Structure 1
Amino acid sequence: MKVINVHKRKINQSKASVYKLLNTLSTKDDKIWPFEKWPAIRFKNGLKVGSEGGHGPIKYTVVSKNYDDGIVFNFINKGFNGNHTLKVEELSNSEIEISHTIKMKTSGFAVLYWLFVIRWLHDALIEDAFDKLENQFSIQKKETKYNFWVKFLRMLKNKKSKKHKASSN
Structure 2
Amino acid sequence: MQRRVIAAPVAVLGDMLDRLAGPNDTLWPDDEPLWLDRPLGAGATGGHGSMRYTVTAYQPGLRVRFEFPAGSPLAGFHELWVRAITHERAEMVHILVAQPRGAMLLLWPLADRWVHQALIAELLDNAERAATGRVRRPARRSLWVQLLHTVRPARAAETVR
Tell me whether 1:9 sits opposite 2:4 in the alignment: yes
User: Does the Cα contact within 8 Å between 2:12 and 2:131 map onto a contact in 1?
Assistant: no
What is the aligned length?
154
After the TM superposition, which residues 15-94 of structure 1 pair with which residues of structure 2 at under 5 Å, given as runs? 15-35=10-30, 38-67=31-60, 70-76=63-69, 78-94=72-88
Unpaired segments ≥5 residues, structure 2: 157-161
The partner residue of 2:148 within 153, 162, 167 is 153
- State the TM-score, normalizing by the size of structure 2: 0.88
| Structure 2 equivalent of residue 125 of structure 1 | 119
CA distance in 2, matches of 1:71, 1:89: 13
Q: CA deviation at 1:105?
A: 1.4
User: Does the Cα contact within 8 Å between 1:15 and 1:89 map onto a contact in 2?
Assistant: yes
Change (3 A) 1:14 1:160: closer
Q: Does the residue aligned with 2:96 lie in a helix, a strand or coil?
A: strand
| Structure 2 equivalent of residue 96 of structure 1 | 90
Instruction: Write the deviation string for residues 15-49 of structure 1: whole angstroms up to 9, x where unpaired.
Output: 111101111111111111111xx111000112111
- Structure with the larger RCO, 1 or 2 (CA within 8 Å, 6+ apart): 2
| Structure 1 equivalent of residue 101 of structure 2 | 107
Instruction: Write the deviation string for residues 71-97 of structure 1: whole angstroms up to 9, x where unpaired.
Output: 111012523110001010111111111
Supply the AA of the counterpart residue of 1:22: L
CA distance in 1, matches of 2:108, 2:3: 20
User: Does the Cα contact within 8 Å between 2:50 and 2:155 map onto a contact in 1?
Assistant: no
CA distance in 2, matches of 1:140, 1:80: 34
Percent pairwise identity: 25
CA distance in 2, matches of 1:61, 1:93: 32
User: Does the Cα contact within 8 Å between 2:9 and 2:84 map onto a contact in 1?
Assistant: yes
Q: Does the residue aligned with 1:45 lie in a helix, a strand or coil?
A: coil
Supply the AA of the counterpart residue of 1:46: P
